[in-house]
Amino acid sequence: MRTMITCFDIGGSAIKCAVATSDGQIGPLARVATPAHDFDAFTAAMRDLIDAGGPSRGVAISIAGVIDPDSGRIKCANIPCIDGRTLSADLAAALGLPVWIINDADSFALAEAQAGAGRGHANVFGLILGTGVGGGLVYNGRLVGGPGGFAGEWGHGPVAAQFAGSPPQSIPRFPCGCGQAGCIDTVGGARGLERLHQHLHGEPLDSRAIIDAWQAGDARAGRTIDCFVDLLSGPLAMLVNTVGASILPVGGGLANSAALVARLDGAVRAGILRKTDAPIIVPGQSGAEPGLIGAAWLGLEKVGGAHA
């Protein structure tokens, strides 16, 4: 008999849902708006989606937030009605089913390790270059957690270089939303790229326009990309040396620029101890819904089914 679970990918604007079965199938996608300020409405929306999918053995969720594995409480600023809750327990009580939760970066890493660019690699670091930066580590096929649920958050810590590019350009220690200053998150991702361009050239420009201008040969955009890659490649090279990842699939909006991913890959490979001609930083390949895929793998593993 097939095992069936309900998978969710939940963000601040939308709840996406699909059914996953132990024979490797993920069903059609359903999508509703996220009731971000009303927990009863939030659980009601999930219950309706579960009921529409049919009998389920459990609920697996990929969500934009961090779960403390000790307390079970979630930190999720963009969905206020769940922020600070013991979410897995609260949802299990409301839905009458076991609930397993994974954050979106970890879900991406797991999806890439099992069904994307990381297939065949023992150690995979899923690298997020979106609004900010993030990541998740899969080691010997298992997702690595950590105290507070922060494993893989390479973007935080006051380690950003204060000079970058060639010739070197002074880079301020920008304040970070985590409360520190000089985090990689302040200069990485789309907002970091825009912040760098504004600092270097006094010009407000969105990340897509910067990348387009760079590829068109614009010198100022090229200078921004030079500094951006320099700032990210050193910390990423140290990460590769430390965790032994042999592939770093990239997700998030900046992953849509194959040229930027290739430029970053070349810089990181030049800085790691293991020399290889094969790319290690590559665009993700797990498909359009890595959150649902990662949640499916997690949930089916928990109920003992085959993996999607």
Q: What pLDDT does 304 receive?
A: 79
pLDDT in tens, the chain (308 residues): 677 899 999 988 899 999 998 877 888 889 999 999 999 999 999 999 999 988 899 999 999 877 887 788 898 878 999 999 999 999 999 999 999 998 888 899 999 998 899 999 999 999 999 888 989 999 988 888 765 456 778 998 899 999 999 999 999 999 988 889 999 999 999 999 999 999 999 999 999 999 999 999 999 999 999 999 999 999 999 999 999 999 999 998 999 999 999 999 999 999 999 999 999 999 999 877 888 888 888 888 888 754 54
112 lies in a domain?
Answer: no
Q: Measured in whole angstroms, how far is the alpha carbon of residue 283 from the centre of its chain?
A: 13
Q: Is residue 278 part of a domain?
A: yes
> Same structural domain for residues 82 and 209?
no
Residue 291: per-residue pLDDT:
86
What is the 3 state secondary structure string of 169-237?
EECCCCECCCCCECCHHHCCHHHHHHHHHHHHHCCCCCHHHHHHHHHCCCHHHHHHHHHHHHHHHHHHH
Whether residue 162 sits in one domain with residue 176: yes
Pair (155, 238) in one structural domain: yes
Same domain membership, residue 155 and residue 41: no
Residues 272 and 136 in one domain: yes
Residue 35 resides in a domain:
yes
217 lies in the same domain as 185: yes
Residue 113 lies in a domain: no
Range of the structural domain that residue 29 is part of: 4-106+288-303
- CATH number of the domain that residue 248 is part of: 3.30.420.40
- Whether residues 147 and 96 fall in one domain: no
Distance, CA of 295 to CA of 308 (rounded, Å): 10
Amino acid 157 reads G
Query: Is residue 40 located within the same domain as residue 134?
Result: no
Are 124 and 271 found together in one domain? Answer: yes
- Cα distances from 31 to residues 14, 18, 34, 282, in angstroms, run 7, 9, 9, 29
* Domain shared by 23 and 167, yes or no: no
- Cβ contacts of residue 170 below 8 Å, gap of 6+? 162, 163
User: How confident is the model at residue 150, as a pLDDT?
Assistant: 62
Claim to verify: residue 131 and residue 11 sit in the same structural domain: no
In a domain, 125, yes or no: yes
18 is a domain residue: yes
Asked if the structure places residue 308 within a domain, the reply is no
Say if residue 237 is in the same domain as residue 295: no
The reply to whether 33 falls in a domain is yes
Q: Quote the pLDDT of residue 121.
A: 94
Q: Domains in the chain: how many in total?
A: 2
Residue 4 CA to residue 267 CA, distance in Å, equals 44
Q: What is the pLDDT of residue 152?
A: 79
